[in-house]
Chain A
């Protein structure tokens, strides 16, 4: 046999084996069941085929900025005390939309130099500009603001990952989503009760310790009445949860807007028991946090402190003496909730609260149904095409059929190899449709080539020459059409989500496979057939 054809065959067989390995690995047995198991091990299914929960949540990054601003305010107050600078007020001017905007009022012109150097030394991420009437405006530098916000998202992803892992969900997907909107995509296969997971992911939000100024009041209205109907600018009105889950009537408290301690000052939490043997949670503060807490509690002995979790006052206690680094949360917890709370605190409190934007729960039976329908349609479509090619193109139809089958092997093999390589590529329902479409478009290349060959034969060319002409003329068109479709697929991949990404992926893999099979493999078969024919013998096409 011609040396040329030999190495071509070698390449084809090698490629086939390579991709078959990607699909099946080395199966434990060659029975139907063994092969099926090997297949499902290697080809990852998307959520719409496996069943599970899909959530898109948005990190409220302004929360994180808020915490930073409040810290800054505390630092300013400390420094003013130390440098004996007078001021009438320091507060956030627009806490809702621009939490990093701080206004300092009533500073004497002489203190300007001190003020500016304090900001430059200790609050370097802020810019400070003078305003009217001895007031000063501070705002975070835009690049630092952007940094802080994206760090909040990254941290949130880590925290959520820790929690989801602790829940024992297998193969979750947690990643940033969308373009610049601080959104996170969470996919939890086989999780059929989104409520519990959502609670755990969301409940683990902000831990803060604030000074309790007034309360408890039996209702929101009663509390407002005390203050003449308006909440003072430096305070917040929060509901209480001090009786744990067994709420015996509401309780409302006025707390300071600025927190003494926030989540990032926490070093470690552990469940334990208090002096009465009841379950409680102890947590230790970081060095810097402990320092700040010490100065805060020293300045507020005899005042009340509240532990605020998720915007609810969890516990109120009076400060007997300055506390440096150990805090205890007591009261109305059972062993399980103490453990849960410690776990939640340890996996890192979320730097900002999260809001759910999208929720999909796909039942596993729906997934199984979809697989069945998709595969059925694929098989029917493919068989129809294979049969037609044999009837219409006779001998050459065999080439097309071999090419199409190899297409399928390579396409699935790509998916399998991605799994082996650890890249997250899943087969979704539109992905199965993409396989079907690739069969259709793949056959197009073969038709192009064969029609051209027929035309050349009509024009009187010899079989070898016709084959040659057919392939070379069709090649340009094949490249054009494949490139444009791959570009479309790339755009779909960038802008699409989950199922659509799966479609774009299978389409691209299929087209790449087709470039190889329709041109190289098909031609090799033609050459082999031609090499075995006598001169002048007709070509079966």
Chain B
């Protein structure tokens, strides 16, 4: 089976279409970054408090907002998280809620606000820690144990919490559910309601980033990207001519701009892992460009009397099969990630999905035309063509 048998498309001839296409998307992205959604930095970079809550029932966002407002938390961002059937909600507090002295005061306020109907003297079993449950059991000693009480009650507490977290998906709906829990002694199930009540929510993930760390990470991300680009420029300048390095850097810059622009347009948050994805797509786009460049270099040696634009066109066509196949296969794997990889990786996989498409496109549409354009410009100026003989390595 073969898709691309003897294909011969004039890619360079279409360069104005490519340029228009790229311009439209770049400008749209930049416009959004400047005026519309700006750059949607995730909590890693802007600081703040993220509390992920699972409710026992379908959450009423308005009611939650009202409860938080009563606790003095104004303007939290509350949005549904993951699939609707899971009743999960993400509460996002501004970085001003994290104070120097108590980093987690925002989170504490949220938990207190949501637990507003707590009966006095009882703890919330849906948000209790392992130690809280174990210490309670050690105190009450419902199983009348002697010397191995510590070990047995540790196991009991673990069984209760495991059942809550792994089987029930983080919250108890009622104490009756304890009766069916594996590894939980009936005496323990009977005594827990004495010291605990059940709220209607459980916190399953918390991310709190102080403002200091946020700024630090922004700097680090910026530096990492810069060094990557620099490394690329140096390596390519070393393996080919410097103009190849410049073309590759411009290409990669174009890819990054469009990807970040897409994030801005869709208002998807840019977290640390998204930056990792962007650095990866820089690597991927670069790979793609190198494949075409390698073929150009090889053909320059073989087709000494042809024009550069002819050589470049021929090279692109020759590598087209590989380019489309690799892009397709990698895209397949990344698409699997985007569709099946879960909510946590959503931003990461979006960056890769866009990145692979754009990265493949840019090697043909941006990198190659730059080489030829530079060459033509040099010839016009009467200088010796320089993009021709790549150093034989």
23 CB contacts below 8 A, A to B, read A356-B104, A358-B210, A358-B213, A359-B104, A369-B342, A374-B345, A377-B337, A377-B342, A380-B336, A433-B341, A437-B330, A437-B334, A440-B334, A444-B329, A451-B322, A477-B291, A481-B291, A484-B235, A488-B279, A500-B273, A500-B276, A503-B276, A504-B276
Within the assembled complex, what's the spacing in Å between the Cα atoms of A388 and B331? 13
Q: Is A272 an interface residue (CB 8 A)?
A: no
Size of interface on B: residues with Cβ below 8 Å to A: 76
Which residues in window 423-481 of A have CB below 8 A to B?
429-430, 433, 436-437, 439-441, 443-444, 447-448, 451, 454-455, 473, 476-477, 480-481
Which residues in window 195-231 of B have CB below 8 A to A?
203-210, 212-213, 216, 220-221, 223-224, 227-228, 231
Question: Which residues of chain A are within 8 angstroms of B231 by Cβ–Cβ distance?
Answer: 484, 487-488, 491
A433-B349, A444-B287 provided; 9 other pairs, C-beta below 8 A?
A: A357-B210, A358-B209, A363-B165, A363-B205, A365-B166, A437-B334, A439-B333, A447-B326, A484-B232
In angstroms, how far is the closest chain A Cβ from the Cβ of B248? 9
| Interface 0/1 of B1-27, CB less than 8 Å to A | 110000000000000000000000000
| Interface 0/1 of B122-134, CB less than 8 Å to A | 0000000111100
In angstroms, how far is the closest chain A Cβ from the Cβ of B358? 16
Q: Is A6 an interface residue (CB 8 A)?
A: no
In angstroms, how far is the closest chain A Cβ from the Cβ of B271? 9
Question: Which residues of chain B are within 8 angstroms of A444 by Cβ–Cβ distance?
Answer: 287, 322, 326, 329-330
Q: Is the CB of B344 within 8 A of A492?
A: no
Question: Which residues of chain A are within 8 angstroms of B207 by Cβ–Cβ distance?
Answer: 359-360
| Interface 0/1 of B309-331, CB less than 8 Å to A | 00000000011011001100111
Question: Which residues of chain B are within 8 angstroms of A476 by Cβ–Cβ distance?
Answer: 294, 393
Chain A's closest residue to B341 (CB) is A377
Which chain B residues have a beta carbon within 8 Å of chain A's beta carbons?
1-2, 52, 100, 103-104, 129-132, 161, 165-166, 169-170, 203-210, 212-213, 216, 220-221, 223-224, 227-228, 231-232, 235, 239, 272-273, 275-276, 279-280, 282-284, 286-287, 290-291, 294, 298, 318-319, 321-322, 325-326, 329-337, 339-342, 344-345, 348-349, 352, 393
Question: Which residues of chain B are within 8 angstroms of A196 by Cβ–Cβ distance?
Answer: 129, 131
A385 touching B332 in the complex, CB below 8 Å, given contacts A430-B273, A433-B337, A437-B352: yes
A363 touching B204 in the complex, CB below 8 Å, given contacts A381-B336, A429-B344, A430-B345: yes
Most buried by B among A368, A429, A440, A448: A440
A487 touching B235 in the complex, CB below 8 Å, given contacts A455-B318, A495-B224: yes
Q: Is A496 an interface residue (CB 8 A)?
A: yes
Q: Is the CB of A357 within 8 A of B204?
A: no
Within the assembled complex, what's the spacing in Å between the Cα atoms of A22 and B279? 30
Within the assembled complex, what's the spacing in Å between the Cα atoms of A361 and B50? 10
Which chain A residues have a beta carbon within 8 Å of chain B's beta carbons?
48, 56, 58, 178, 181, 192-196, 355-366, 368-370, 372-374, 376-378, 380-382, 384-385, 388, 391-392, 394, 429-430, 433, 436-437, 439-441, 443-444, 447-448, 451, 454-455, 473, 476-477, 480-481, 483-485, 487-489, 491-492, 494-497, 499-500, 503-504, 507
Q: Is the CB of A366 within 8 A of B204?
A: yes
Q: Is the CB of B166 within 8 A of A364?
A: yes
Within the assembled complex, what's the spacing in Å between the Cα atoms of A260 and B154? 44
A358 touching B208 in the complex, CB below 8 Å, given contacts A491-B231, A500-B272, A500-B273: yes
Question: Which residues of chain B are within 8 angstroms of A492 by Cβ–Cβ distance?
Answer: 224, 276, 279
Chain A's closest residue to B332 (CB) is A384
Question: Which residues of chain A are within 8 angstroms of B272 by Cβ–Cβ distance?
Answer: 496-497, 499-500
Question: Which residues of chain B are within 8 angstroms of A376 by Cβ–Cβ distance?
Answer: 340-341
Within the assembled complex, what's the spacing in Å between the Cα atoms of A429 and B349? 12
Q: Is the CB of B235 within 8 A of A392?
A: no
In angstroms, how far is the closest chain B Cβ from the Cβ of A435? 10
A381 touching B337 in the complex, CB below 8 Å, given contacts A358-B208, A366-B204, A492-B224: yes
